[in-house]
Amino acid sequence: MTKGIGVQGKSKHISILAGGCAAIAYVAFLAPAAALAQEAGTTLLQTITVEGAKNQDPKAPVKGYVAKTSASATKTGRSLVETPQSVSVITKDQMDAQTVRNLSEALNYVPGVVAQPSGADPRFDAPRIRGFQGNQLQFLNGLRLMRTAGAPPYEVYGLERVEVIRGPASVLYGQGNPGGLINLVSKRPTFERFGEVGAQIGSFDYYQSMFDIGGPVAGTDSFAYRLTGLARKAHTQTDNLQNDRYFIAPALTWQPDEDTKLTVLASYQHDNPSSPSGLPPALTYSRPGNMLDRSFYVGDPSFDTSNRKFTNIGYEFEHRFDETFTFRQNARYSNFDWSYRALGMSSTSGGMIGNLIRRNATFQDELLNTFNIDNSLQADFSTGPIDHTLLVGLDYRYFDNNVKTEFWAATPLNPVNPVYGGPISLTSRTLYADVKTDISQIGFYAQDEMAIENWRITAGLRQDWASTSGTTFNGTTYRTLDKDDHKLTGRVGVSYLFDGGFAPYVSYATSFEPVPQPAVGDAPKPTTGEQWEAGIKYQPEGFDGFFSAAIYDLKQKNVTTTVGGVTQQMDEARVKGLELEGVASLTDGLDLRAAYTYMDSEVSGRVNDGKELDSTPRHAASLWLDYTFAEDTALEGFGIGGGVRYVGKRYGDAANTFEMKGLALLDLGVHYEKNGYRASLQVQNLTDKEYISSCSTFGCYYGDGRTVMGKLTYRW
């Protein structure tokens, strides 16, 4: 049963609504200056944005691969070429062309991102951005997806685009590590009637059906709806691991006039992801050529169970008062309920007891409730020769977390002759944790985007107050988790728009992230981050494309390290890097995305001094091409696409004990479209390359082998 957010949480929510009104009053002081500027005939900022991008809705569908604006980078819909920060946008058309099944696959061709550092995992996505963990940096429609051990996964079929912001983003989004963030943008209603039905079938007993319909509500011109859903029955490359899912996402838009818009977004997701266990290094990494098969199953189908439900309901409201002021309010309530038990490799003694695989049994019950609200007021005005887009906002996040976890030493497994079906003996309990926490964060932010002829200047400040209250119980004693943090963060960026579409820029940004109270030891300080970045962006006038290059110097201080079971802040992490990215949708039917990444990481401190960050390759590169034959040719409607992904050598653990070799993976796809029907066949890892994605004391994990996926859709 869903747990309520409580009286205290509700009162806080009401106070934030009042705070949103206060934000309006704050910016209203600027009205006289704005009015005087308009009377003088000064041009507003939105009239001088880059041609080709000013009319593109940052949340609307994009034809092809090239998005010109971002919904996340500045919260104002600024064009990418004018944004002094690295931003990548993966459109729905690209995800369809690559037959993307999850977020990790959508990120495979993005620079600065390691999409699957620990191999494919149906439980949640945990990409790394610029060397830093991204499992707490995932957002849905600009509001954070909360979970203590990795964000709940959201079905990608329900998405219009995925946006990746690289570098600190605390000014607009509050606490987070300096790597960046990933914002998932949901499909929204349109006032044009449409529909899609389809089916997928593929490797590992993958069967899926889906639908996506919408348009204006009958008899009205102010209401539009959308209904998206799917049903999936599937396994993974590991034997006996299930990946079933049911997903439904209704949405409704009310737009009584051109100045007012309210969109209600909801979703319900029910799945049963099993935990892919690591395999002992002694049976994989340490003896190449005689390794356990990547399908090897450490668990037991008679024991392992999983049941997970993820519910979201929220809205986006926007009202333009006049040519100067626009108010927005986004809010969402989420409930996450997950109960599972699973057998997996124990990290004790390298996962081995003699010639047998040492196993742990995990029991976990999670019940999480999250409430997010973001109020903002945008003012577009001029002061003399300077055009301003001023954004003032107040946001609030409330998260109650009730998680009970147990680890038990369990019956070991013979890797040579595994026997499944029980009986499973639980010999001793090695961990018991009952954690109950309430986490809240209030942030006040202000951002000014200024235009002075060809110059663009973006500056922002934010003050955050974060609070945690709760207890943890280990079976014998309680420990309080009460903790309060506050921090001021900021960013500034400058760019110059040359004729022809070139825009060099330089920027500086900071971030902070509170560290949870550990089971033992002193209360830690928040980690802090800062980054210098310089680059150049190019939006050509002759064809639909976008290209960027960036260099950066990124630091995180107060990095936590566990020594002897005690969490201590002993290290500092630094990453210097180069990123190149190009994306284009050409009129002759050719779409492409290319990327190159260089990351030089180093940890300094008392524990891992001189080591590199784990799962952080020094070199990575990718290239995807898709060509569709033109009309009036013999192969009209037919297309072929393919890509190569290279990931250089990297370390599998923080101590740099395990070095993973570099590898290249090939993807290939063909498709045919006619009269609304589209058929495609996609093959990932075409050569069936066998490789280990990561390896540490928690075990070694394989990357996905050859995966074949066929898809048939009909659109009208």
pLDDT tens readout for residues 271-310: 998 877 889 988 988 777 778 898 999 999 999 999 999 9
Determine the Cα–Cα distance for residues 708 and 673; give it in Å rounded to an integer.
19
Q: How many residues does the chain have?
A: 716
Strands (E), 234-304: 245-257, 260-271
Report which of residues 587 and 33 the model is more confident about: 587
Answer whether the bond into residue 423 is a cis peptide, omega within 30°.
yes
Q: What integer is the mean pLDDT of 12-19? A: 41
Residues 317-355 pLDDT 10s: 999 999 999 999 999 999 999 999 999 999 888 899 999
Residues 31-84 pLDDT 10s: 333 333 333 343 333 434 454 455 578 888 999 999 999 989 999 999 999 999
Determine the Cα–Cα distance for residues 662 and 646; give it in Å rounded to an integer.
7
Determine the Cα–Cα distance for residues 62 and 69; give it in Å rounded to an integer.
10
Q: What is the pLDDT at residue 45?
A: 38
Q: Which two tokens stand for residue 548?
A: 């960027």
Q: What is the pLDDT at residue 26?
A: 36
Determine the Cα–Cα distance for residues 214 and 206; give it in Å rounded to an integer.
27
**Cβ-count burial 525-547 (b if 16+ within 10 Å, e if not):** ebbbbbbebebbbbbeeeebbbb
Helix (H) or strand (E) holding 8: helix 6-28
Do 351 and 281 meet the contact criterion of CB atoms below 8 Å apart?
yes
Determine the Cα–Cα distance for residues 150 and 125; give it in Å rounded to an integer.
7
pTM of the model as a whole: 0.90
Q: Which two tokens stand for residue 453?
A: 């002829």
Count of other CB atoms within 10 angstroms of residue 182: 28
Q: What is the pLDDT at residue 520?
A: 61
Do 215 and 566 meet the contact criterion of CB atoms below 8 Å apart?
no
Give 23's DSSP letter.
Answer: H
Percent of the chain with pLDDT over 70: 91
Pairing of strands 86-91, 159-166: antiparallel
Do 156 and 431 meet the contact criterion of CB atoms below 8 Å apart?
no
* pLDDT above 80: residue 15: no
Residues 476-487 pLDDT 10s: 888 888 889 999
List all residues 6 or more positions away from 348 whose beta carbon is below 8 Å from its beta carbon: 358
* pLDDT above 90: residue 375: yes
Report which of residues 176 and 696 the model is more confident about: 176
**Cβ-count burial 688-702 (b if 16+ within 10 Å, e if not):** eeebbbbbbbbbbbb
- Please choose, from the candidates 183, 147, 178, the residue with its C-alpha nearest in 3D space to the C-alpha of residue 163: 183
Please give the biggest Cα pair distance in the chain: 84
Please report the sign of the dihedral spanned by the C-alpha atoms of residue 32, residue 36, residue 39, residue 44: negative
How far out from the chain centre does Cα 533 lie?
Answer: 21
Pairing of strands 138-140, 180-186: parallel
Determine the Cα–Cα distance for residues 713 and 230; give it in Å rounded to an integer.
13
Q: What integer is the mean pLDDT of 593-604? A: 96
Report which of residues 531 and 606 the model is more confident about: 531
Please report the sign of the dihedral spanned by the C-alpha atoms of residue 601, residue 566, residue 701, residue 415: positive
HSE of 107, CA atoms in CB hemisphere, 13 A: 27
How far out from the chain centre does Cα 313 lie?
Answer: 19
Give 419's DSSP letter.
Answer: -
Do 701 and 119 meet the contact criterion of CB atoms below 8 Å apart?
yes
Q: What is the pLDDT at residue 542?
A: 84
The CA-atom distances, in angstroms, between 707 and each of 461, 671, 687 are 46, 16, 10
Q: What is the pLDDT at residue 50?
A: 52
Identity of the residue numbered 257: D
| Predicted confidence band of residue 249 (pLDDT cuts 50, 70, 90) | very high
Report which of residues 657 and 562 the model is more confident about: 657
Phi, psi of 163 (to 5 degrees): -115, 135
Determine the Cα–Cα distance for residues 416 and 597; give it in Å rounded to an integer.
41
Q: Among 329-343, 411-425, 550-564, 586-600, whose mean pLDDT is lowest?
A: 550-564
Determine the Cα–Cα distance for residues 540 and 319; give it in Å rounded to an integer.
33
Task: Identify the bridge partners of residue 683 per DSSP, sorted by sequence position.
Answer: 668, 708
Count of other CB atoms within 10 angstroms of residue 174: 25
Determine the Cα–Cα distance for residues 311 and 335; give it in Å rounded to an integer.
5
SS3 258: coil
**Cβ-count burial 580-609 (b if 16+ within 10 Å, e if not):** bbbbbbeeeeebbbbbbbbbebbbebeebe
Determine the Cα–Cα distance for residues 179 and 575; give it in Å rounded to an integer.
10
Give 304's DSSP letter.
Answer: -
How far out from the chain centre does Cα 29 lie?
Answer: 37
* pLDDT above 50: residue 30: no
* pLDDT above 80: residue 580: yes
| Distance between first and last Cα of the chain | 40
Q: What is the pLDDT at residue 657?
A: 86
SS3 319: strand
Q: What is the pLDDT at residue 37?
A: 37
Q: What is the pLDDT at residue 564?
A: 60
Count of other CB atoms within 10 angstroms of residue 289: 4
Do 209 and 198 meet the contact criterion of CB atoms below 8 Å apart?
yes
* pLDDT above 80: residue 370: yes
Please report the sign of the dihedral spanned by the C-alpha atoms of residue 604, residue 608, residue 612, residue 616: negative
Q: What is the pLDDT at residue 652?
A: 85
- Please choose, from the candidates 114, 116, 115, 62, the residue with its C-alpha nearest in 3D space to the C-alpha of residue 89: 62
Give 147's DSSP letter.
Answer: -
| Predicted confidence band of residue 4 (pLDDT cuts 50, 70, 90) | very low
Count of other CB atoms within 10 angstroms of residue 704: 22
Do 506 and 553 meet the contact criterion of CB atoms below 8 Å apart?
no
Determine the Cα–Cα distance for residues 106 and 111; give it in Å rounded to an integer.
12
Determine the Cα–Cα distance for residues 367 and 592; give it in Å rounded to an integer.
42
Rounded-to-5 percentages of helix, strand, coil across the chain: 10, 55, 35
- Please choose, from the candidates 275, 260, 374, 270, the residue with its C-alpha nearest in 3D space to the C-alpha of residue 312: 270
Q: What integer is the mean pLDDT of 181-205? A: 95
